[in-house]
Amino acid sequence: MKKKTKYIHSGNYVAEVEVDLITTEGEWSPYLSLKEAKKLDNVREALSNKNLKEASKYGKVYKMEPIR
């Protein structure tokens, strides 16, 4: 397995989430397990609902603000 950082963006928020990628000899490699894909879905849903406490259970959460 290989670790990879994924960034999930929703509204003004971004979550930085570490996931495990499965690597095989097949054409679809590397790919996410169902568990890791659900983790990203949970983060996306939490951010969409502005539930930052829930989203932060999976990784760092950032608020994006325009410079001007």
Tell whether 22 is covered by a domain.
yes
- Residue 39 counted as domain residue: yes
Cα angle for residues 20, 56, 11 (degrees, 5° grid): 100
How many domains are contained in the chain?
A: 1
- pLDDT, tens digit (0-9, with 9 covering 90-100), for 10-43: 999 999 999 999 998 888 889 999 999 999 999 9
- Give a yes or no: residue 32 inside a domain: yes
**What pLDDT sits at residue 34?**
95
Residue 68 lies in a domain: no
* pTM of the shown model: 0.86
- Rounded to whole angstroms, the Cα distance separating 37 from 41 reads 6
Domain span including residue 40:
2-63
Mention every residue, 6+ apart, whose C-beta is less than 8 A from residue 34. none
